[in-house]
Amino acid sequence: MKKNNIVTLRPFCYIRPSLDTMTAGVIAVLVPQIVMLFVTDSYRSLILLGCTTAASVLAECIDAAALRHKRGDWNVALLQGLLIGMFLPASYPFASAFFIALCTLLVAKYAFGGLAGSWINPVAAVIIIAYFVGAVWFPAYSVPAGYLQTRNVSLALIQDGVIPTLPADSSVTAFLNETVFAFLGTSIPDGYVSLLWDSGAAVPAFRFNILTLIASLVLFSFRMLHWVVPACYVAVYAVLVKFFCPVFAGGTVGEGDILLSVLSGGTLFTAFFVLSWFGTTPLSPGGKVFYGVFAGVASFFISGYGMSPVGAMFTVLSANMISPVIQLCERMRSKATLYAKQLPKIEKIRKS
């Protein structure tokens, strides 16, 4: 008699990819940005990525050894280390990056809970600690006050050399204007191609916006990323910048520069790779919307036009602080709904 020892989940299937699959997918879409660091000779950033990744994996090893029954989340540790390295400026000392990441991650595992129970994003925690320890190595907020009254802040910064442009920017811009934008009856000025392709920022997460957008489309397509939180975050932040940012500098309402706010300061990278970290976001659709909207409002007050070196991480931390309250409300609502559905059966049992 033939024996079949193969066990499958059929006819059952996953609604979403497993945790290992999602983390592997996110790591895969980060590879092009790491390759671009090689191409652009950003070797210090690559070494920092190696230091923080090694620290994250070592922290996971120590945690797994301390809890012998626990299997290490190695994909998560690898992704966590890569993300930390992407948010550190190239000038940050290697040894400091390694030990800050190692110590902060170990403390976070025991102070804030494990992967599923954590309410603080470990990447944001490490970057904020690194900023307080070595703020001198982070770039300064690079929007001079005189530019804030300008209608097109990003263009003014590009023309004055505050935002560097690539050597091929003019030729690529001319090609796009002749072949694409001519049919739309418009054109784009020099500099925006550089802002999309490689802004030249000291922090790798701020640089390759077009690769970040492509990565997000891949993650959305394979259901490895839920769109509600990033969409609410970016939309609310962009609207607030558009209508209210110029007011604080004596400008005109409705003339804020959305492109500068979205394409600088790691706004897109944070939205797609950090803000929706496992265990830190609410579960219900309404909770996700509120979480994303709150993050957008917090980002407006913390980062302003978006060129803050760590504003995105403080935004994530602010959103993390309200997430437990939202999740508590979700649990209370679920219990109330379940009780309401069971109430007729309870009454029937009581009467009988």
Write down the pLDDT at residue 308. Answer: 87
Write down the pLDDT at residue 165. Answer: 83
Q: How many CA atoms lie within 13 A of 222 on its CB side?
A: 16
Whether 47 and 129 share a structural domain:
yes
What is the secondary structure of 136-203 as a DSSP string? Answer: GGSPPP---GGGTTSSSHHHHHHHTTSS---TTHHHHHHHHIIIIITTTT----TTHHHHHH----SS
Q: Is residue 213 part of a domain?
A: yes
Burial 92-103 (b: 16+ CB within 10 A, else e): bbeeebbebbbe
Q: Which of 137, 160, 178 is the last residue of a domain?
A: 137
pLDDT tens string 234-282: 999 999 998 887 776 666 777 788 888 888 889 999 999 999 888 888 8
Q: Which residues of the chain have pLDDT under 70?
A: 1-16, 67-72, 113-117, 141-151, 248-251, 339, 343, 345-348, 350-352
Q: How many CA atoms lie within 13 A of 320 on its CB side?
A: 23
Write down the pLDDT at residue 172. Answer: 85
Write down the pLDDT at residue 116. Answer: 55
Whether 29 and 167 share a structural domain:
no
pLDDT tens string 291-335: 999 999 999 999 888 788 899 999 999 999 998 888 888 888 877
Write down the pLDDT at residue 143. Answer: 66
Q: Is residue 7 part of a domain?
A: no
C-alpha dihedral over 78, 79, 82, 84, to 10 degrees?
A: -110
Whether 74 and 121 share a structural domain:
yes
Tokens linked to 281: 């976001």
Whether 151 and 69 share a structural domain:
no
pTM, full prediction: 0.87
Amino acid making up residue 114: G
Write down the pLDDT at residue 31. Answer: 96
Q: What is the DSSP letter of 218?
A: H
Residues 6 or more apart in contact with residue 345 via CB below 8 angstroms:
none
Please tell me the total number of residues recorded for the chain in this structure: 352
Closest C-alpha to 201, from 163, 161, 159, 157: 163
CA distances 173 to 109, 160, 207, Å, are 48, 18, 18
Cα separation, 226 vs 69, whole angstroms? 31
Q: Check if the beta carbon of residue 253 is closer than 8 Å to that of residue 246.
A: yes
Q: Which of 117, 137, 157 is the last residue of a domain?
A: 137
Write down the pLDDT at residue 299. Answer: 94
Write down the pLDDT at residue 69. Answer: 53
Question: 3-state DSSP helix/strand/coil percent for the chain, to nearest 5?
Answer: 65, 0, 35
C-alpha dihedral over 66, 17, 232, 325, to 10 degrees?
A: -40
| Chain Cα centroid distance, residue 115 | 17
Whether 215 and 110 share a structural domain:
no
Whether 197 and 292 share a structural domain:
yes
What is the secondary structure of 271-301 as a DSSP string? Answer: HHHTTT-TTSS-SSHHHHHHHHHHHHHHHHH
Whether 195 and 218 share a structural domain:
yes
Q: Is residue 73 part of a domain?
A: yes
Residues 6 or more apart in contact with residue 160 via CB below 8 angstroms:
none
Question: What is the extent of the structural domain holding 162?
Answer: 145-323
Write down the pLDDT at residue 70. Answer: 62
Whether 241 and 157 share a structural domain:
yes
Tokens linked to 223: 């259901």
How many domains does one find in the chain? 2
Q: Is residue 5 part of a domain?
A: no
Write down the pLDDT at residue 284. Answer: 87
Whether 275 and 208 share a structural domain:
yes
Q: Which of 137, 171, 195 is the last residue of a domain?
A: 137
